[in-house]
A and B are shown apart, each in its own frame.
Chain A
Amino acid sequence: MSENKKSSTGAVMIVGGGIAGTQAALDLAESGFFVYVVESSSTIGGVMAQLDKTFPTNDCSMCILSPKLVECGRHLNIRLMTMSEVEKVEGEAGNFVVSVRERPRFVDAEKCVACGICAEKCPKKVKDLFNGGLGVRKAAYVEYPQAVPLKYVLDEQNCIYLKNGKCRACEKFCPTGAIDFSQKEKVHQIEVGSVVLAPGFKSFDPSSMDTYGYGKYPNVVSSLEFERILSASGPFEGHLERPSDRKAPEKIAWLQCVGSRDSHPNAHGYCSGVCCMYAIKEAVIAKEHAKQGLDTAIFFMDMRTYGKDFERYYDRARQEAGVRFIRSRIHSISTAAPGSDDLRIEYVDENGTMRVEIFDMVVLSTGLEVSRDARALAQRLAIELDSGGFAKTNSFSPIAASRPGIFVCGAFSGPKDIPSSVMEASAASAASAALLADSRNSLTRSKTYPPEDPSVHAEPRIGVFVCRCGVNIASVVDVPGVRDYARGLPNVAYVAENMFTCSQDTQKLIIEAIKEHRLNRIVVAACTPRTHEPLFQQTIREAGLNPYLFEFANIRDQDSWVHQGEPEKATAKAKDLVRMAVAKAALLEPIEKLQAPLIQTALVIGGGVAGMNAALNLSAQGFKTCLLEKRDELGGHALEVARTWKGEDVSAYVAELKQRVLADANVEVLTGAELVEAGGFVGQFTSLVKVGGGHREIRHGAVILATGAEAVEPVEYLYGQSQRVTRWHDLEKLFKKEPELLDSAEGVAFIQCVGSREPERPYCSKICCTTSIKQAIDLKEKKPDLDVYILYRDIRSYGAREDLYKKARGLGVLFIRYNADEKPVVAKTSVEGKEKLKIRVRDHVLGFPVELTVDYLNLATAIVPKGLDELARFFKVPLNQDGFFLEAHMKLRPVDFATDGVFVAGLAHYPKPLDESVAQAGAAAARAASVLSKPWVEVEPIVSIVNQELCIGCGMCEANCPFGAIRLQEVKGKGYRAETISASCKGCGVCAASCPQRAIDMKHFRDSQILAAIRVGAGGGA
């Protein structure tokens, strides 16, 4: 082996195909790296695929996940390795060799067309674990209908032939000969530069908690099982029914913290971080499902709705949906009466009264834990785990595992929700890309095509391919009838009927037919364009046709599957849909792919921890970056913080970070700099910066907004009226400066939620509970006899921060809960001539007011956005109702905006602790890099086109465009005329619909094309 420094391997292995793994794979593949996704089950998707809805937007989980899975499944530079596990990782960061063991699927994925006949014929019924064991599936199965890859699998543990050597029904009936019993286990050796571990979590198994009767009482279900009950594709088809008798429940209880915040041997001490929100969501959705009223009660200890828009969700559940919230931890569940399926819960309410309620169902809000398999994986890979069993990381590099070159993301490194997992996934991909920057684009593939056939401009010659989809279409729709009907339609030159139009061999048939019959437009009548249009577009492109000369007729998902009992009418509908598609196809035009110029540099606005991390990562990835800071010094709010809640030294970290940024040749730092103007769009932004008495123009391809937030100055609790009332880090700074003040103090109090969770600011500032608890612990450790009080509404020490809360209680910090309508009252007083503060608060345990006398009061005041309006205007991005930046999608695009090329990180997005800001900065850098790493901006060419002769320059289009993708430009002698910014256009057509002059049309969805389809849609023919 050569002694020279070997360059790195331009490929990354992602272990785990849940939402985190999928996101990391897409980010890396889009940034010039080849990606292997190793998934132990038969499909990617993970737990998110099992969820019904997602909080706080109530989006259908599968609907938002599925497009990402499809994209991952068909990406040229992603190889999915399902049924596979990582055995070992040898080598070092940059050059690993990974051994992957692949179990047999017993189905040839190349041949399987997912018709489902194997499952239909399979005689063996098995408990369906995807549906929480509440339904059955066959031994030949597909995990769920939207699985990727959509290939069936034989369950080795249950297949009759594989167990007993008899049956083979699936093999006999499979129309494509895909069943292959000869498949054996294989071991692959794969070279990659880095590894991202995203094995996810497992829902805590409540069987070990015998007082809850899970497994004994059929109507006690886990929260994940309840998700399946609510799901339209679940065991009860979305009908809210209880398992014992399929009766619609009238009363359901949720018990929080099952397996979390629990010191029992089988349970976990940490808070699982997501259960409060999912329980509220399940209660709200269940109420929507219930036809005749549903009573829902959530039994909890602290309501931890600390994320963006969570508190509002909680407020709405309480005030509008009428979900009952009862602060009480339930010890046990029993049957309501002997032989009854109803359940009895005894509890003590907030007033100390013992109560009994009978419920039809009880949902256990089970926590998150690392599975035994994931722990074994960590051991094989020599990855350290923390006390909770999660991958050990530190706050300054929250995605780095203990072994260099191996990164972690998602719930494997601590309980967390989907957006945090997605952020970490992008951050892990940024870290991988920085490590492997020298080998970017070295292993990726690109596709080459023959030149396009110019015959498209001649008379339309349309080929129509009607799919039987096994029996999926043909058992309802008369497919030969539709085919023959299509033959008689105008411009149709060729028709065919296929068993599976999407199969590999049919692609060859389509190409041959195009050549033989000189076809120049293609219509496929089959499933849905949402999954299959790209496949057929690629096929016709291989035959020399422009991919936009293609039209789909959806005769499966929107016809045969939804009119199963009406074959004649379904056939008539199929004919109509084909006729409409043919009418539109005749008018289709070839569309060239658009490439807009790209300036491969980034601008990062805000020189705090988030901004500095984003700049350093982009620089390491090879992109020149300009870092803008308003103040004269880099560091932002982290300059005020001494240590993280884990005890890490923040001052030293920030000092090192500043040094690295200033020493980085790829990063230009502008301090004392202010953005005065900005414009442009993805690939070509121009920003004007006021710096050093002059102005600088900066041109950049992408921008990251990381301008932070600030703590509010309160007007309550004598703040500003007494020197003894401080906020945030002021008290610890005071004691550091004048230690004698602490020596002479006898009591210190903290008040939480000052200005947060109020009607005018209905959100939780997320970091205050942890900060105050940490400060309280420091005080107690320095001076054990000091009285320390924390006055709170709910303690929100989510995740592993729960350990800190426990520690504080152990040290004697007194926690007193107050209600929002009965806030503490602070007054000045003096005790034996010493000036003190008197705090009057109603104690929740004693049930009557107590009076505390303390020397100092520190207020955890709300974190508020500052000055984002102007930035929002410059870059055409929205703010939410609280004034923070509003990302493109709360769940799956947490650092993107709807406007391309603009990204967000840190507190400008929402209050968050340092480790989450660092992760989000990495994520924003990854997303920016996916734009900057290409030679140009690739634009989806379905964009608007303006007829400048008709345009009168009224500006309706510019005002209505949600993406800033159309603008008025001055045309000499004509005033203003609209102009499309193709790089930003999403093809929605709002501009076209709103143009009073009908001067705007949409490519591929032209007026003429849509009208042609409308005109032939209703009647029997054109």
Chain B
Amino acid sequence: MSENFEPKALAFLCNWCSYAGADLAGVSRFQYPPTIRVLRTMCSGRVEPLYITEGLKSGFDGVFVFG
């Protein structure tokens, strides 16, 4: 693994809380690493185990579920 390894993460965000929180981070101009890719769901409860394995299989280094 190279020294500059930057993990690329997939994040499932709940429309009502964490997605709103991510927007607020933007409004507040909080800076964070640009290696996260977000998918919005209507609830974190929508996230099936399959989505997580599929995310890892398709090349993401990690998967977040925020809700």
Chain A residues packing against B (C-beta within 8 Å): 60, 62-63, 145-146, 232-233, 237-238, 528-530, 554, 556-559, 561-566, 569-570, 572-573, 576-577, 580, 942, 986-990, 992-994, 1002, 1005, 1007, 1010-1011, 1013-1019
Contacts and interface: CB of A to CB of B under 8 A. Distances in A.
A317 to B, nearest CB: 24
A988 B45 contact: yes
Taking chain B's interface residues, is the majority helix, strand, or loop, or is none over half, making it mixed? mixed
Contacts, number: 127
A1022 to B, nearest CB: 10
Given A558-B38, A570-B34, A1011-B51, A989 B24 contact: no
Contacts of A1016: 58
A989 B47 CA distance: 8
B20 A530 contact: yes
A529 B40 contact: yes
A295 to B, nearest CB: 28
Contacts of A1005: 41-42, 46
A989 B43 contact: yes
Contacts of B31: 562-565
Interface in B24-57: 24-32, 34-35, 37-43, 45-48, 50-51, 54-55
B39 A1017 contact: yes
B7 to A, nearest CB: 11
Contact of B29 (A561, A986, A1017, A1019): A561
Closest 3 CB pairs of A and B: A989-B46, A1018-B59, A557-B26
B60 interface: yes
B23 A1018 contact: no
A1015 B58 contact: yes
B37 A573 contact: yes
Contacts of A558: 22-23, 25-26, 38
Contacts of A1018: 8, 10, 37, 55, 58-60
A750 B13 CA distance: 54
Contacts of A528: 23, 26
A75 B10 CA distance: 35
Contacts of A238: 28
A904 to B, nearest CB: 22
> Size band of the B side of the interface?
35 or more
A573 B6 CA distance: 14
B56 to A, nearest CB: 9
Contacts of A232: 24, 28, 30
B60 to A, nearest CB: 5
Contacts of B25: 557-558, 562
Contacts of B40: 529
Given A561-B27, A988-B45, 14 more contacts: A63-B24, A233-B27, A237-B28, A556-B26, A562-B32, A563-B32, A942-B42, A987-B43, A989-B41, A989-B46, A1005-B46, A1007-B48, A1010-B51, A1018-B10
B41 A573 contact: no
B48 A992 contact: yes
A986 B46 CA distance: 12
Contacts of B19: 530
B20 to A, nearest CB: 6
A260 B66 CA distance: 43
22 contacts: A60-B24, A63-B21, A63-B24, A528-B23, A557-B22, A557-B23, A557-B25, A558-B25, A562-B29, A562-B34, A576-B37, A577-B38, A580-B39, A942-B42, A987-B42, A988-B45, A989-B43, A1005-B42, A1015-B54, A1017-B37, A1017-B58, A1018-B60
Interface centre among B10, B24, B26, B50 (most CB of A within 10 A): B26
A54 to B, nearest CB: 15
B6 to A, nearest CB: 9
Nearest to B23: A557
Nearest to A558: B22
Nearest to B47: A993
B32 to A, nearest CB: 6
Contacts of B26: 528, 556-559, 561-562
Contacts of B39: 580, 1010, 1013-1014, 1017
Contacts of A566: 34
B45 to A, nearest CB: 4
Nearest to A1017: B37
A569 B23 contact: no
A561 B54 CA distance: 29
Given A988-B46, A989-B43, A1010-B41, A145 B27 contact: yes
Contacts of B55: 1014, 1017-1018
A1018 B62 CA distance: 10
A990 B24 contact: no
Interface centre among A558, A572, A1005 (most CB of B within 10 A): A558
